[in-house]
Structure 1
Amino acid sequence: MTAFAIIGHLARTDGGFSLNDLPGSGGRMDVLCRCVNASLFLSHDLRRDVDCYLVLCGEPKGPKTVKFSGATVCSLSPDERSAGALIKKVIDIPCGNEFREAAQGVFIRKGGLERLLAERRFAVLDETGTDVREVKDLPDAYLLSDHLNFTEIEEELIRDCPRYSVGPKCLHADHTITVLHNELDRRRC
């Protein structure tokens, strides 16, 4: 099982955003929606062995973590608006400290990065890391930031995590996921 976790530094933590304005009213929710799609979609199918975690850190009720399970998610189409609609649907569901299924294959809970790191070891995808093509065995869980750099507090939390790069250029988070999937697919086939 492969996992991707993306930190949404400004991402709304309530349903008070417009599907017609995911970048503005959603706090760059568009970036997270593209990451969900890059994590889960194949041509005419889903990656059933992938989970995608969105760590929402914005106003007003953060942090919250939304999990998309490739094994069970339904009603997801390969466009930003579809992922945004599912996030909007689940984000206001009352939740506690454990994941609660709020829509089929989409879970929500309170808590953010610190909690996620306590549960699973993640590698950080960062352009300054070791090139994935130079690494014999790659891990199964990866952490990325949205359009913003990791904060000082986040850097402290991930200081002991291995860092990998997918190439010499800084890519958008969703493109990084796609390139990494390609590398993993080549190794597994």
Structure 2
Amino acid sequence: MRRFVVVGHRGSTDPGFSLNDLPGAGRMDELCRCVAASLCLSHGMRRDAECWLVLLGEPKGPKTIGFSGAKVRNLSPDERNIAGLIKKALALPCGTTFREASPGVMVRKGGLDAVLAECPCGVLDEGGEDVREASSLPETVLLSDHLNFTEEEEELTGGLPAYSLGPRVLHADQAIVVLHNERDRRES
């Protein structure tokens, strides 16, 4: 299983955001691209992958939305489609355990601390070990949206193994594609 956990620092937790203004919903466009990069292939779905979005934006406190490539239905790689699934998940009342919003899409209350408590993971960081030279890669990889990790988040992730993708900083969705490619090459 491959899991990508993306921290959406300003990602809206209100289902009322507009599908016509995804950047204005806390860069929901970038988060939707991360879901597509995690799960979609040219003509199919990565059944061995998951993408969790940790939404920290206003107004309803942190929420985590999980997408499972093995179970998801009606997902296409366009941002608007994925944002519609996120809106549906955010509209569902939930507690601290995952609740299915639609096939393969789950939602719960809780942020990064809850994710780190249940998933051992590695973190993407420019100062980390080069993924091409790493002897193994973690099952779960934590990365940030268009913003850097906050000081508090860095404290939470300070003890995690760190990996670098190269000398340039990539968008989160591009980083996911590079990581998939590296794992695909190792597994073939």
TM-score range, shorter chain: over 0.9
Report matched runs for 1:36-185 at 5 Å.
36-185=35-184
- Residue 133 of structure 1 deviates from its aligned partner by 0.6
Give the counterpart letter for 1:54 in structure 2: L
Give the counterpart letter for 2:43 in structure 1: H
Unpaired segments ≥5 residues, structure 1: none
Instruction: Tell me which residue corresponds to 1:9.
Output: 9
CA distance in 2, matches of 1:126, 1:84: 27
CA distance in 1, matches of 2:35, 2:57: 18
Alignment RMSD: 0.6
Give the counterpart letter for 2:159 in structure 1: D
- Residue 32 of structure 1 deviates from its aligned partner by 0.5
CA distance in 2, matches of 1:80, 1:126: 26
Deviations 1:78-121 (A, max 9, x none): 11111101001110100001000011100000001000000011
Deviations 1:1-57 (A, max 9, x none): 110000000011011211110001x11111100000000011111000111000000
User: Structure 1 length as normaliser, TM-score?
Assistant: 0.98
Describe the SS at the equivalent of 2:10. Answer: coil
- Residue 122 of structure 1 deviates from its aligned partner by 1.1
Unpaired segments ≥5 residues, structure 2: none
Describe the SS at the equivalent of 1:167. Answer: coil
Give the counterpart letter for 1:45 in structure 2: G
- Residue 168 of structure 1 deviates from its aligned partner by 1.1
Identity rate, percent: 64
- Residue 68 of structure 1 deviates from its aligned partner by 0.2
Describe the SS at the equivalent of 1:156. Answer: helix
CA distance in 1, matches of 2:178, 2:115: 24
Give the counterpart letter for 1:177 in structure 2: I
